[in-house]
């Protein structure tokens, strides 16, 4: 078999840095959501860009699929080798290659995690701001065009990747972008690669924008009498230009889940979790302006977290929302939706979603980065029940219909993987076929993460 | 001839909205820099997206090249029909289609100019911030990935185009992006089209991000004893995080040119022109912080412009820098360079450029959006002198070598057109060929602005 031939050759190249052990195959065949276990044929751990290139050359010769692996925290089955082949695990390529503090940029290997990067940056006064919650690898974050809680202030991976190096399907190494802050030199291959989910190549290096660590940070949480009040407070906050560093919504069910999972003592009503970055005077003023808006919408229990440990507790609780949601129905499978709409449509989108969850036979939570118009519903369903499977997927389709009807998108930050392939046609129309044409041009053998994002046959 | 057949068919479709008059052909065959007159075979003025589609379908059938035309202000010969064919003039497609004030976005046709758009937005409290100086069309700005004086604060067209509609080479209409603030739904075709200079399709609609009009604006100008002091003041300003809305450098020669062309009375030394956007208190504080930095580098003659008319005068002078430079040698041709480097390399790049100009047999100026690390040298050379032509192009190559040696790019904002094609290989290496592969996939007949950006044969 072609895959076997590739694996044999890779094994000669990499020795112990190729594994076919059951444990390694299974750990690289698992996703955090509802996809069944899908072990690859082998796992490889390259140590250098040149080794990635050699791996691609071998796989290309044998038509063997390759799927990049960061930390395995993607939610749509992005990193599963559904057509077999090799999982290329970047965990050994986790170095910071250059910190250019004066230019506020950093060059990293793709396997470094967000937290490890910020730890290395600590002494510089700079930080990398994109925070999807999970301690994902920067390579994975770039490939899914990740964002998260801080995008309202600092943008997404689209805005924060300045350049990259990648190995394409035929083994060519390319360099896209530069350390210049802007460029008009030809097609934006950096932006094309960011969000391509490994279907166009394997990234071996990223140049990232950094920001100055804010002089002062203040976080807060407050409760709202009902969902509409909370969402309207968000809309008013954004429209009045208060510079939010984070503005996160959780619904009453999510508050209940935090109480169970994280031992919180939140009233079982919708909440907003917010953060302000700036000078001491600035964050105090921003927090006060936000509080005035929140008060107008009936907010109560406004609780400031100025100490670092209180903020950490707040955001750890928030970042564990996925696991907290799961505690509402232990043992269930989880489907996470991820729509993003213009902010003027947010109240309608969230309210329709709340009503939809209420009508479902399983529990669900709503939470999201509402400053961007992005929110998630998490549905805890019994995957062994055909009725629940049908219901949850119909729910997911209604979410996407809602997003598209309201001028939005089927996925704000999680990406397509396999889970959202069926929505690409409805969202993009003929532009989806254009994506496939680009894929065919750059990967005619369809060996780079086949079965994801685009339909090539 | 195939082009003639296309023009005949287009004439039947468009009637008086197709012209072959000498005047129209010449006005669409002219560039603002050193390229020779290159009239197209015909000029067409579509009125709707559907008409653009019909034009493309006819041209595709006959293999007739198409070149989009906005206001003709590009600097690298982007809009010249160097392989003949049709100039598609978007000046009739200049409507605002929807202002979504709550969402701070606007949907426009590509022919609307920057100033016309901002005039239409005036009552909303919002504005479109990208300002390349020229009153360019938004379509043209998107296609060259334009930026200009305000990019240091508001980003470039890359950051401000949320979505678009375009007609591809085979006549398909596609829609890329959405009105959602972010998306992870597949390849970023919006970013691929922005900066593609019309080589992948003709844009018929753009969705743009808007910003709130600042409560207060303050501009200022100050003089520096020498170039190094001015550039180091910029670096210090950016690194200390003072939120600049504009920070523009002009060298001593440019100051002299302003005195001649605009009747200014500037000392013949380097200057910085700056602007602050924010609250009344905020801009006063920002201006004071900037002034402290400038003072440390020996700035003199710090002159605030708080009244709108004074600011307009200041920025009109700056925006006319191209014409002012030309006044240093009336009748000469102009070559404008456009490199962008990481800010830590800016002093070196500008100083080397100054020395290089001093050694040339023709006058030159330096000016730029130095907050981004982007600056231009304008060289006024005699195009009838072979020696000067050779010297000016060698100068231009040294500029690019300098940019690439210092981790920068050959063009920060002007784009490639024809003028910078020869630098694409040195800048991008194998990635340039990847751009050509994308071009071939989407425009196999090479009829969309052929001869620009990529080399397909």
Each residue of B62-98: pLDDT tens digit?
999 999 999 999 999 999 999 999 999 999 999 999 9
Residue labelled with tokens 């929807």: B98
**DSSP one-letter code for B36:** P
Task: Measure A183 CA to nearest chain B CA, in Å.
Answer: 4
Q: Are the beta carbons of B413 and A184 separated by less than 8 Å?
A: yes
Say yes or no to pLDDT of A247 above 80: yes
Q: Are the beta carbons of A409 and B187 separated by less than 8 Å?
A: no
Cα–Cα distance between B69 and B87 in angstroms, integer?
6
A172, A408, A415: residue with CB nearest B180: A408
Cα–Cα distance between A315 and A274 in angstroms, integer?
10
Fold matches, A2-89 and A96-212? no
Cα–Cα distance between A279 and A326 in angstroms, integer?
38
B contacts of A185 (beta carbons < 8 Å): 409-411, 415-416, 420, 423-424, 427-428
Task: Measure A177 CA to nearest chain B CA, in Å.
Answer: 8
The CATH number of domain A2-89, selected from 3.60.20.10, 3.30.43.10, 3.40.50.300, 3.10.450.350: 3.30.43.10
- Chain A: residue whose CA lies nearest to B156: A182
Q: Which fold has domain A329-442?
A: Alpha-Beta Plaits (3.30.70)
First CA to last CA distance, chain A? 22
Task: Measure B341 CA to nearest chain A CA, in Å.
Answer: 5
Report percent pLDDT > 70 for chain A.
100
Rounded to the nearest 10 degrees, the angle between the axes of helix A430-442 and helix B430-442 is 140
Task: Measure A310 CA to nearest chain B CA, in Å.
Answer: 27
CATH of domain A214-320: 3.30.70.2190
Cα–Cα distance between B107 and B109 in angstroms, integer?
7
Q: Are the beta carbons of B407 and A435 separated by less than 8 Å?
A: no
Closest by CA to B253, choosing from B318, B324, B205, B307, is B324
Which residues, 6 or more positions from B263, have their beta carbon under 8 angstroms from its beta carbon?
none
Cα–Cα distance between A216 and B199 in angstroms, integer?
47
pLDDT band at A260 (very low <50, low <70, confident <90, very high): very high
CA angle B122, B75, B354 (to 5 degrees): 105
Chain mean position to CA B56: 26
Residues B276, B282, B284, B287, CA torsion sign: negative
Name beta bridge partners: B304: B220
Q: pLDDT (tens digit, 9 = 90+) per residue, B19-72?
A: 999 999 999 999 888 899 999 999 999 999 999 999 999 999 999 999 999 999
- Chain A: residue whose CA lies nearest to B207: A407
For an interface test with A, which of B186, B236, B428 has the most A Cβ atoms less than 10 Å from its Cβ? B186
Task: Measure B55 CA to nearest chain A CA, in Å.
Answer: 19
User: For the whole model, what pTM was predicted?
Assistant: 0.96
Q: Do B48 and B109 form a contact (C-beta atoms < 8 A)?
A: no
Instruction: Indicate the domain borders of chain A.
Output: 2-89, 96-212, 214-320, 329-442
Q: Do A438 and B168 form a contact (C-beta atoms < 8 A)?
A: no
Q: Are the beta carbons of B182 and A441 separated by less than 8 Å?
A: no
Q: pLDDT (tens digit, 9 = 90+) per residue, A68-99?
A: 999 999 999 999 999 999 999 999 999 999 99
Q: Are the beta carbons of B187 and A438 separated by less than 8 Å?
A: yes
A contacts of B241 (beta carbons < 8 Å): 212
A180, A188, A241: residue with CB nearest B158: A188
Which residues, 6 or more positions from A308, have their beta carbon under 8 angstroms from its beta carbon?
A217
Report percent pLDDT > 90 for chain B.
94
Name beta bridge partners: B218: B276
DSSP E strands: which ranges in B237-341?
246-250, 271-278, 300-305, 333-336, 339-340
Cα–Cα distance between B395 and B380 in angstroms, integer?
12
More confident residue, B364 or A32: B364
Element (H, E) at B91: none
**DSSP one-letter code for B417:** T
Q: Are the beta carbons of B407 and A174 separated by less than 8 Å?
A: no
Cα–Cα distance between A66 and A94 in angstroms, integer?
19
Provide the pLDDT for residue A1: 61
Mean of per-residue pLDDT scores for chain A: 96
Q: Are the beta carbons of A182 and B410 separated by less than 8 Å?
A: no
Residue labelled with tokens 């994280």: A262
Provide the pLDDT for residue B239: 83
Q: Are the beta carbons of A103 and B342 separated by less than 8 Å?
A: yes
A contacts of B435 (beta carbons < 8 Å): 186-187, 189
**DSSP3 helix / strand / coil % (chain B, rounded to 5):** 40, 20, 35
Q: What would the two tokens of residue B28 be?
A: 């669409």
Q: Do B367 and B445 form a contact (C-beta atoms < 8 A)?
A: no
Q: Are the beta carbons of B409 and A173 separated by less than 8 Å?
A: no
B contacts of A416 (beta carbons < 8 Å): 184-186
Q: Are the beta carbons of B191 and A196 separated by less than 8 Å?
A: no
3-state DSSP assignment of residue B342: coil
Q: Are the beta carbons of B435 and A185 separated by less than 8 Å?
A: no
Q: pLDDT (tens digit, 9 = 90+) per residue, A152-161?
A: 999 999 999 9
Chain mean position to CA B260: 25
Say yes or no to pLDDT of B1 above 70: no
- Chain B: residue whose CA lies nearest to A171: B430
Task: Measure A78 CA to nearest chain B CA, in Å.
Answer: 12
B contacts of A143 (beta carbons < 8 Å): none
Q: Are the beta carbons of A182 and B105 separated by less than 8 Å?
A: no
Q: Are the beta carbons of B427 and A159 separated by less than 8 Å?
A: no
Provide the pLDDT for residue B374: 97
Cα–Cα distance between B163 and B175 in angstroms, integer?
7
Residues comprising chain A, all counted? 457
Cα–Cα distance between A290 and A284 in angstroms, integer?
10
3-state DSSP assignment of residue B127: strand
B403, B413, B438: residue with CB nearest A441: B438
3-state DSSP assignment of residue B341: coil
Report percent pLDDT > 90 for chain A.
95
CB atoms within 10 A of CB A226: 14
Q: What would the two tokens of residue A362 be?
A: 């399983």
Q: Do B201 and B166 form a contact (C-beta atoms < 8 A)?
A: yes
Cα–Cα distance between A450 and A435 in angstroms, integer?
14
Backbone angles phi, psi at A350, to 5 degrees: -70, -40
Provide the pLDDT for residue A306: 80
For an interface test with A, which of B147, B161, B181, B441 has the most A Cβ atoms less than 10 Å from its Cβ? B181
Q: pLDDT (tens digit, 9 = 90+) per residue, B157-209?
A: 999 999 999 999 999 999 999 999 999 999 999 999 999 999 999 999 999 99
**DSSP one-letter code for B31:** -
Cα–Cα distance between B435 and B457 in angstroms, integer?
13
3-state DSSP assignment of residue B80: coil
B contacts of A338 (beta carbons < 8 Å): 184
Backbone angles phi, psi at B7, to 5 degrees: -65, -40
A103, A159, A414: residue with CB nearest B159: A159
Q: Are the beta carbons of B403 and A437 separated by less than 8 Å?
A: no
Q: pLDDT (tens digit, 9 = 90+) per residue, A444-455?
A: 999 999 999 999
Query: Is the domain covering B329-444 a CATH 3.30.70.2740 domain?
Result: yes
> Mean per-residue pLDDT for A182-189?
98
Three-state helix/strand/coil letters over chain A: CHHHHHHHHHHHHHHHHEECCHHHHHHCCCCCCCCCCCCCCEEECCCCHHHHHHHHHHHHHHCCCEEEECCCCCCCCCCCCCCCCEEEECCCCCCEEEEEHHHCEEEECCCCEHHHHHHHHHHHCEECCCCCCCCCEHHHHHHCCCCCCCHHHHCCHHHHEEEEEEEECCCCEEEEECCCCCCCCCCCHHHHHCCCCCCCEEEEEEEEECEECCCEEEEEEEECCCHHHHHHHHHHHHHCCCCCCEEEEECHHHHHHHHHHHCCCCCCCCEEEEEEEECHHHHHHHHHHHHHHHHHCCCEEEEEECCHHHHHHHHHHHHCHHHHHHCCCCCCEEEECEEECCHHHHHHHHHHHHHHHHCCCCCEEEEEEHHHCEEEEEEEECCCCHHHHHHHHHHHHHHHHHHHHCCCECECCCCCCCCCHHHHHHHHCHHHHHHHHHHHHHCCCCCECCCCCCCCC
Q: What would the two tokens of residue B348 be?
A: 């070196």
Cα–Cα distance between B285 and B216 in angstroms, integer?
12
b/e B400-439 (16+ beta carbons within 10 angstroms → b): bebbbebbbbbbbbbbbbbbbbebbeebbeebbebbbebb
For an interface test with A, which of B98, B100, B104, B180 has the most A Cβ atoms less than 10 Å from its Cβ? B180
Looking at domain B214-324, its CATH class is alpha beta
Task: Measure B39 CA to nearest chain A CA, in Å.
Answer: 24
B172, B184, B412: residue with CB nearest A415: B184
Q: What would the two tokens of residue A404 be?
A: 């598209």
Size of interface A-B (CB pairs under 8 A): 254
Say yes or no to pLDDT of B281 above 90: no
Q: What would the two tokens of residue B101 be?
A: 């004030």
Radius of gyration of chain B measured on its C-alpha atoms:
22
Task: Measure A416 CA to nearest chain B CA, in Å.
Answer: 6
**DSSP one-letter code for B372:** G
Q: Are the beta carbons of B435 and A343 separated by less than 8 Å?
A: no
Chain mean position to CA B43: 23
pLDDT band at B418 (very low <50, low <70, confident <90, very high): very high
Name beta bridge partners: A218: A276
Closest by CA to A417, choosing from A77, A111, A45, A49, is A77
Query: Is the domain covering B96-212 a CATH 3.40.630.30 domain?
Result: no
Q: Are the beta carbons of B342 and A432 separated by less than 8 Å?
A: no
Angstrom CA distances, A31 to A73, A118, B244, stand at: 7, 26, 45
A104, A181, A185: residue with CB nearest B411: A185
Angstrom CA distances, A15 to A18, A70, B421, stand at: 6, 21, 45
- Chain B: residue whose CA lies nearest to A408: B180
Report percent pLDDT > 70 for chain B.
100
């Amino acid at each position: 078999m072609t895959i076997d031939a590739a694996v044999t050759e890779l094994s000669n190249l990499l020795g112990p840095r190729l594994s076919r052990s059951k444990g390694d195959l299974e750990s690289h065949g698992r996703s955090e959501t509802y996809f069944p276990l899908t072990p690859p044929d082998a796992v490889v751990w390259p140590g250098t860009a040149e080794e990635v290139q050699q791996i691609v050359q071998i796989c290309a010769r044998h038509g063997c699929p390759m799927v990049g692996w960061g930390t395995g925290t993607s939610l749509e089955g992005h990193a599963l080798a559904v057509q077999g082949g090799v999982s290329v695990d970047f965990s050994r390529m986790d170095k910071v290659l250059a910190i250019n503090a004066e230019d506020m940029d950093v060059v990293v290997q793709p396997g470094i995690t967000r937290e490890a990067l910020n730890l290395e940056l600590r002494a510089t006064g700079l930080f990398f701001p994109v925070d999807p919650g999970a301690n994902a690898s920067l390579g994975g974050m770039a490939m899914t065009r990740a964002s998260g809680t801080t995008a309202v202030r600092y943008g997404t991976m689209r805005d924060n990747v300045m350049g990259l190096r990648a190995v394409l399907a035929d083994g060519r190494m390319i360099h896209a972008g530069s350390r210049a802050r802007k460029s008009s030199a030809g097609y934006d291959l950096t932006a094309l690669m960011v969000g391509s989910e490994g279907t166009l190549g394997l990234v071996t290096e990223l140049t990232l924008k950094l920001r100055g660590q804010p002089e002062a940070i203040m976080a807060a949480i407050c409760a709202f009498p009902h969902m509409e009040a909370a969402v309207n407070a968000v809309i008013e906050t954004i429209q009045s230009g208060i510079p939010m560093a984070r503005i996160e919504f959780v619904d009453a069910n999510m508050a209940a889940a935090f109480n169970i999972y994280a031992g919180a003592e939140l009233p079982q009503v919708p909440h907003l979790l917010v953060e302000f970055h700036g000078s001491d005077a600035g964050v105090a003023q921003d927090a006060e302006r936000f509080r005035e808006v929140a008060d107008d919408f009936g907010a109560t229990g406004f609780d400031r977290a100025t100490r670092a440990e209180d903020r950490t507790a707040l955001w750890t609780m928030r970042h564990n929302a996925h696991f907290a949601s799961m505690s509402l129905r232990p043992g269930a499978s989880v489907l996470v939706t991820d729509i993003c709409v213009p902010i003027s449509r947010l109240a309608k989108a969230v309210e329709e979603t709340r009503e939809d969850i209420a009508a479902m036979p399983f529990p669900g939570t709503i939470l999201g980065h509402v400053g961007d118009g992005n929110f998630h519903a998490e549905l805890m369903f019994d995957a062994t029940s055909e009725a629940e499977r049908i219901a949850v997927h119909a729910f997911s389709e209604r979410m996407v219909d809602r997003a598209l009807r309201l001028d939005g998108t089927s996925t704000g930050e999680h990406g397509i993987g396999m889970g959202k392939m069926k929505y690409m046609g409805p969202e993009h129309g003929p532009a989806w076929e254009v994506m496939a044409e680009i894929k065919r041009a750059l990967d005619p053998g369809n060996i780079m993460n086949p079965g994801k994002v685009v339909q090539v046959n």
